[in-house]
């Protein structure tokens, strides 16, 4: 046994050992192992394979029988094949598969060239994902469709956790390339399925032709005058095959043309042209002995075959099988190259992800965002409270015509006093021009007036609080704080943390029952006669003086006591009835005017007293209601301020948790990175070992 033969046997065993430990790694390792077993079995036969190919089956079969009867059968395993009708390469139809590798198995999913392949947890999906293993995969996650010209594209179906191609999140659809890694719902905290897309479109020869050329010596028996396209194609293909010797056997009539064509081709040294009397040989083989000429030709040809393998049959066999082994090693090398390329891409992506997870930047951004949001919040509520207090002060400013105190006083001044009789007594009552109650209770009018005016003011103030105060109002500060804190899409703070319906019930502060102020007073009036007598009695001396002075003025002499004076003054009046009547009339008019004036003054004095009491009461009531309304608005503001404060604390907690998760992911990614580097080094070592195995 030659050293080359022994070395090949040992090398096949080494390769089988390497391949057998990697069955779960890639299905091609199992295929290679099976091919190596066939090669090892062929090697054990220790016979050279001689293949006869002819367009003349009788001649080919006769030559085979002759070889088998000859001592060549000790060294050769002779086979016969008819000249194939098709010797040109056949392009196989493109085929694509998805390979899902798990820790315990490998699943292969063929992809249709005409129909869409759905992927998801939906049991009706063509590739149904196990919900118990991969919980983050969506029900209808993705789909792969043929897109013409033997190509496929993958589309994400609005999945919750995304579809990734070679680590990059898929947006819409993307055409797939062989070796692409398809990851569904990638997550550092839970398991996720990862497929490998494989597509093959190879140039292949018919299987019968490949088996025909798997030989050490190829005998092409051609008894045609010219070489047909089939013969020319077969010789061209055989020239590239690892054949030790290729013999073109032709008859004398076709020798010249065959030799001319062979010389015109760039053929290797293994080709040899042999002349045999094929016609007589093929006709006589079936019935009688071969003639002497043909016998000599055949004997000479057999001797040449014996000489060719003399002393080196094992080397020739090893040469062919070595080529087959190297071919299988190339398959393994392609698998390793693909794995190395995939790991190299993963390394780049992991490094990019680590760089993208720089916690220092996130920490600084979070710190700035929280500080800005807190400062904006504090500034806003401080400004709103200031503006609200200023508006309150303006509402209560007694020197301003827009204040509630002025409006209350103005309303009370318009109240009219009315004289009423109740229970035999007279009363003065203040009434509004358009009372809101049937009994004319002015307290109801004033209560309604104050409530209405203050409700308008409070509604306007709340509108200003929500839209204007503090440079944009409550709505603006909430939106500003939300946008400031929501700068990380992966955190996605809920708007409900910041927003509320912000309804405020101002009416409840105005619906309490209030103590009523007196709006009527008792009037103790006198009759006109009583008034006259009382006035005369109270002003007798002044009256006597005026009468005497008047009498002297008109020339009446007055002397004596009071009665004499009166008698002296009234004497002319008694003597002149007309004059008497005029005096009496004037006196009545004077007394009536005085009576009415005094009565009016008395009524106004009572009314003024009532107005003052009403004014004091309802001005105080208005101030009290303003305080309640401002307190109600302030309470709602405090609630909103607390809501924003709580939202800031929640955001801070989430930022902290996010940063901790990032740091954990960084550690995990770094660990994965180191593992991938180790895998890449191991792959490089395996590739180096593979190169050593290829050196025979």
**Digit-coded pLDDT (tens) for 532-590:** 666 666 665 655 555 555 555 555 555 555 555 556 656 665 666 776 677 667 777 77
pLDDT tens per residue across span 326-348: 888 888 888 887 787 777 777 77
- Burial degree of 496 (CB within 10 A; 0-12, 13-18, 19+): exposed
Give me the pLDDT at residue 285, please. Answer: 44
Top CATH class of 3-87+208-345 equals: alpha beta
Cα separation, 613 vs 446, in Å, equals 13
User: At residue 501, does pLDDT exceed 90?
Assistant: no
Cα separation, 190 vs 186, in Å, equals 8
The residue among 37, 41, 432, 48 whose CA lies nearest residue 217 is 48
Mean pLDDT, rounded, for 36-45: 85
Among the ranges given (250-254, 411-415, 449-453, 573-577), the one the predictor scored with the smallest mean pLDDT? 250-254
Question: pLDDT higher for 378 or 7?
Answer: 378
- Which tokens go with 663? 């740091």
pLDDT tens per residue across span 154-167: 999 999 999 999 88
Collapsing DSSP to helix, strand or coil, 374 comes out as helix
- Which tokens go with 608? 């003024």
Question: pLDDT higher for 23 or 471?
Answer: 471
Mean pLDDT across the chain: 80
Question: pLDDT higher for 595 or 464?
Answer: 464
- Which tokens go with 68? 């088998």
User: At residue 461, does pLDDT exceed 60?
Assistant: yes
DSSP-derived pairing of the beta strands 271-275 and 245-250: parallel
- Which tokens go with 575? 């003597």
- Burial degree of 417 (CB within 10 A; 0-12, 13-18, 19+): buried
Give me the pLDDT at residue 554, please. Answer: 53
The residue among 383, 387, 380, 371 whose CA lies nearest residue 475 is 380
Among the ranges given (417-431, 503-517, 561-575, 629-643), the one the predictor scored with the smallest mean pLDDT? 561-575
Cα separation, 442 vs 518, in Å, equals 9
Q: Do residues 405 and 449 lie in contact, with contact meaning Cβ atoms separated by under 8 Å?
A: no
Q: Do residues 661 and 353 lie in contact, with contact meaning Cβ atoms separated by under 8 Å?
A: no
Question: pLDDT higher for 564 or 86?
Answer: 86
What is the pLDDT confidence band of residue 190, given thresholds at 50, 70 and 90?
confident
Q: What angle do CA 569, 574, 580 make, to 5 degrees?
A: 80
User: At residue 203, does pLDDT exceed 60?
Assistant: no
**Which residues are CB-neighbours of 265 under 8 A, at least 6 positions away?**
235, 236, 239
| Helix locations, 468-576, DSSP H | 469-485, 528-538, 540-554, 562-575
- Identify the architecture of domain 93-201 in CATH: Sandwich (2.60)
Cα separation, 196 vs 183, in Å, equals 9
Cα separation, 533 vs 528, in Å, equals 9
Query: Strand locations in 18-116, DSSP E?
Result: 48-54, 76-82, 90-91, 95-101, 106-110
Q: Do residues 686 and 336 lie in contact, with contact meaning Cβ atoms separated by under 8 Å?
A: yes
What is the pLDDT confidence band of residue 152, given thresholds at 50, 70 and 90?
very high
- Start-to-end Cα distance in the chain: 16
pLDDT tens per residue across span 276-310: 765 555 544 444 455 676 678 778 888 888 888 77
What is the pLDDT confidence band of residue 2, given thresholds at 50, 70 and 90?
low
Q: How far is CA 337 from the centre of its chain?
A: 36
Percent of the chain past pLDDT 70, that is, above it, reads 81
Question: pLDDT higher for 541 or 367?
Answer: 367
Q: What is the CA radius of gyration of the chain?
A: 61
* Helix/strand/coil percent split, the chain, to 5: 60, 15, 25
User: At residue 252, does pLDDT exceed 60?
Assistant: no
Among the ranges given (136-140, 350-354, 612-616, 629-633), the one the predictor scored with the smallest mean pLDDT? 350-354
């Amino acid at each position: 046994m030659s050293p080359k033969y022994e070395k090949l046997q040992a090398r096949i065993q080494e390769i089988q050992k390497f391949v057998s430990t990697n069955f779960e790694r890639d299905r091609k390792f199992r295929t290679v192992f099976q091919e190596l077993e066939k090669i090892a079995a062929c090697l054990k036969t220790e016979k050279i394979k001689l293949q006869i190919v002819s367009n003349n089956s009788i001649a080919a079969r006769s030559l085979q029988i002759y070889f088998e009867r000859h001592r060549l059968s000790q060294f050769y395993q002779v086979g016969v094949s008819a000249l194939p009708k098709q010797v040109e390469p056949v392009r196989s139809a493109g085929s694509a598969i998805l390979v899902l590798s798990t820790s315990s198995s490998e699943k292969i999913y063929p992809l249709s060239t005409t129909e869409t392949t759905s992927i998801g947890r939906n049991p009706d999906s063509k590739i149904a994902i196990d919900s118990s293993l991969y919980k983050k995969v969506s029900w209808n996650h993705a789909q792969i469709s043929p897109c013409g010209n033997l190509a496929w594209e993958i589309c994400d179906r609005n999945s919750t956790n995304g579809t990734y191609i070679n680590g990059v999140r898929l947006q819409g659809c993307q055409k797939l390339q062989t070796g692409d890694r398809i990851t569904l719902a990638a997550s550092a905290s839970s398991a996720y399925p990862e497929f490998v897309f494989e597509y093959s479109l190879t140039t292949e020869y018919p299987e019968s032709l490949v088996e025909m050329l798997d030989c050490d010596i190829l005998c092409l028996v051609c008894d045609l005058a010219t070489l047909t396209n089939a013969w020319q194609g077969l010789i061209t293909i055989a020239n590239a095959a690892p054949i030790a010797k290729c013999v073109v056997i032709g008859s004398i009539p076709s020798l010249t043309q065959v030799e001319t064509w062979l010389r015109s081709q760039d053929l290797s040294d293994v080709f040899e042209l042999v002349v045999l009397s094929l016609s007589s040989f093929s006709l006589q083989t079936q019935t009688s002995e071969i003639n002497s000429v043909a016998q000599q030709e055949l004997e000479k040809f057999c001797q040449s075959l014996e000489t060719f393998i003399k002393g080196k049959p094992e080397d020739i066999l090893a040469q062919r099988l070595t080529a087959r082994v190297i071919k299988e090693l190339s398959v393994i090398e392609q698998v390793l190259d693909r794995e190395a390329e995939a790991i190299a891409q993963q390394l780049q992506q992991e490094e990019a992800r680590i760089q993208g997870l720089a916690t220092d930047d996130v920490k600084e951004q979070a710190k700035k965002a929280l500080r800005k949001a807190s400062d904006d919040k504090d500034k806003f509520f401080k400004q709103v409270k200031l503006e609200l207090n200023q508006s309150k002060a303006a509402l209560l400013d007694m020197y301003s015509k827009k204040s509630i105190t002025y409006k209350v006083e103005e309303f009370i001044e318009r109240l009219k006093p009315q004289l009423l009789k109740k229970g035999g007594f007279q009363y003065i009552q203040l009434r509004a021009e358009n009372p809101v109650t049937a009994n004319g209770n002015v307290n109801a009018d004033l209560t309604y007036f104050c409530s209405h005016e203050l409700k308008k003011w409070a509604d306007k103030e709340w509108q200003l609080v929500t839209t204007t105060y503090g440079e944009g109002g409550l709505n603006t500060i909430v939106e500003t704080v939300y946008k400031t804190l929501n700068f990380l899409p992966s955190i996605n703070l809920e708007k409900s943390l910041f927003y509320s319906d912000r309804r405020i019930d101002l009416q409840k502060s105005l619906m309490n029952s209030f103590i009523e102020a007196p709006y009527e007073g008792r009037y103790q009036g006198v009759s006109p006669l009583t008034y006259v007598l009382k006035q005369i009695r109270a002003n007798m001396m002044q009256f006597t003086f005026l009468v005497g002075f008047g009498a002297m003025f008109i020339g009446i002499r007055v002397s004596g006591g009071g009665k004499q004076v009166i008698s002296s003054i009234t004497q002319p009046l008694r003597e002149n009835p007309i004059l008497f009547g005029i005096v009496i009339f004037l006196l009545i008019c004077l007394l009536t005017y005085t009576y009415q004036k005094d009565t009016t003054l008395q009524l106004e004095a009572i009314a003024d007293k009532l107005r003052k009491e009403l004014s004091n009461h309802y001005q105080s009531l208005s101030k009290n209601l303003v305080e309640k309304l401002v307190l109600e608005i302030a309470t709602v503001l405090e609630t909103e301020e607390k809501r924003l404060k709580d939202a800031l604390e929640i955001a801070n907690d989430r930022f902290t948790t996010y940063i901790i998760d990032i740091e954990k992911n960084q550690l995990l990614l770094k660990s994965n990175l180191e593992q991938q580097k180790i895998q890449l080094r191991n792959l490089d070592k395996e590739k180096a070992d593979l190169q050593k195995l290829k050196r025979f």
